[in-house]
Amino acid sequence: MRKLILIGAGLNKDLITLKGLNKLKEADIILYDRLVDNSLLDVVNCEKVFVGKTPYKPSCSQCEINSLIEKALLEDKTVVRLKGGDASIYSRSLEEIEVARRCDAIIEIIPGVTTVSQFVAKLETALTARGISSGVIFITGHKKDGELNEAYNWKAIVDLNMSIVVYMGVKNFMKILNLLLENGLSEKTPVAIGEKLDFDDEKIIVSDVENLFNFNFEIKFPAIMLIGEVVKSSNFFTNSFTIKGEGCTKCKN
């Protein structure tokens, strides 16, 4: 059947939905991303093609992925596009949907648990909270060329006083914080960074903006940043700088 199924697989095999797991079994071919739990591929017997992208390194381009989708669809195959997190957030899904439409294919989208939802679960907090944060702002930490999109209205972002989530921003995390500070963000604003979530070497950093600048630490891909008062409700938040991970839990004062 000429069909494209986009499946958000969450961050590990336990976070894919039952519907997503069942839809995997319909595939003639699965194109899977770098952050997908590979054990999910064991439940199906079909062609499997790795199309993951690695930041700032040679990887499969989106154009190549689109071509693979088109070729398989024109062969009347059912193509599963398996993505980490949720397929609708910073995943280039719309470009793949447009390919399927040009091929006159059936399209089905299975939502997944997005990365920030898993992150706030680990932090034991929430993205929104009555009287604290009435909304969430998602931004990407880089453009196609890897540089930060400085055209964002940083003052408007600060003035909304909502939780701010930065995807794909490892290279520019500190630059983003500086721009927010320059536009009125308080130095005491809580911030959390989740690195390699659900990997064996997962690391979570919880601090406020001021303390974050006072410590030397390395952030590796992939990582996500949450900025806002909801972080203060986390079980990991202190008035200093906390790192959970790297084989231990420690608090630097």
Active site residues: 33, 53
Asked whether 27 and 79 are in contact (CB, 8 A), the reply is yes
Residue 231 CA: distances (Å) to CA of 109, 145, 188, 209, 228: 31, 31, 11, 12, 6
- Burial (Cβ within 10 Å: 0-12, 13-18, ≥19) of residue 221: middle
Strand 163-167 relative to strand 78-83, pairing: unpaired
Residue 98 CA: distances (Å) to CA of 50, 69, 85, 93, 223: 21, 11, 21, 9, 29
Residue matched to tokens 């005491």 = 188
Residue 245 CA: distances (Å) to CA of 13, 34, 85, 176, 202: 21, 22, 21, 24, 6
Determine the 3-state secondary structure of 245 from DSSP: strand
Segment holding 120, helix H or strand E: helix 115-123
Q: What is the CA radius of gyration of the chain?
A: 19
